[in-house]
A and B are shown apart, each in its own frame.
Chain A
Amino acid sequence: GDSVTQMEGPVTLSEEAFLTINCTYTATGYPSLFWYVQYPGEGLQLLLKATKADDKGSNKGFEATYRKETTSFHLEKGSVQVSDSAVYFCALSDPTSYDKVIFGPGTSLSVIP
């Protein structure tokens, strides 16, 4: 079945450091890919998405590129801020699986001043 794998956390970075959170997926069809972010005590909110191969999603300085050949959707940001501290979830939605959204296990990020 479909699945999403993310790098294990927690990740701790200093402010202005470069961030990469790895995400790989397996899917039977051609999924859409998402990154959601969950700030402490809140629900998830969409950070960015990509719907086909080679698409790049971007928002708030975060970027991720849909790489079909490596089945990956790694999240990057050039310079993190303390306010980026949150849990980040990679997810896919596969139209051949009733459009269920499958979430990865989440990666906790702490940014210290």
Chain B
Amino acid sequence: DTAVSQTPKYLVTQMGNDKSIKCEQNLGHDTMYWYKQDSKKFLKIMFSYNNKELIINETVPNRFSPKSPDKAHLNLHINSLELGDSAVYFCASSLAAGAYNEQFFGPGTRLTVL
């Protein structure tokens, strides 16, 4: 009965590889997000989708491409991985886009690029 789930939990890969992280929510929410948390715990939004449409696209290298096949899923594909991509990536969802809505976070995916 996990609300927001991510796979994999850990991902170790070599520089230059392409990898994907998957996210699913079973809360019936309309809006989903990807965040990056660096080694100092600083959390920054990357993307947000509302009903499968991109609504927030921060200054992120275009090697990062989100895809939302339906409202319940938001995947993150990363091309040509670099050392600086090492971080914990969190998926989140909220009932709708809006200032009042609580966000529910997944457990995170720890990406290590060697």
Contact = CB atoms under 8 A, between A and B. Distances in A.
Contacts of B4: 43
Contact of B40 (A34, A100, A105): A105
A106 B45 CA distance: 15
The dominant DSSP class at the B interface is loop
A10 B108 CA distance: 22
B43 A98 contact: no
B55 interface: yes
B98 A103 contact: no
B98 A95 contact: yes
The interface size bin for chain B is 20 to 34
Interface string B76-91: 0000000000000010
Interface stretch (B13-21, B64-72, B99-107): B99-107
A94 B90 CA distance: 21
B56 A44 contact: no
A108 interface: yes
Contacts, number: 60
Contacts of A54: none
Q: Which A-B residue pairs are the 6 nearest by beta carbons?
A: A43-B105, A93-B99, A106-B41, A32-B99, A95-B99, A103-B43
A38 B43 CA distance: 11
Contacts of B90: 43-44
Given A43-B106, A44-B105, 7 more contacts: A38-B41, A44-B103, A46-B102, A46-B103, A51-B99, A89-B43, A108-B41
B97 interface: yes
Nearest to B41: A106
A101 B18 CA distance: 28
A49 B106 CA distance: 20
Interface string A26-45: 00000110100010011111
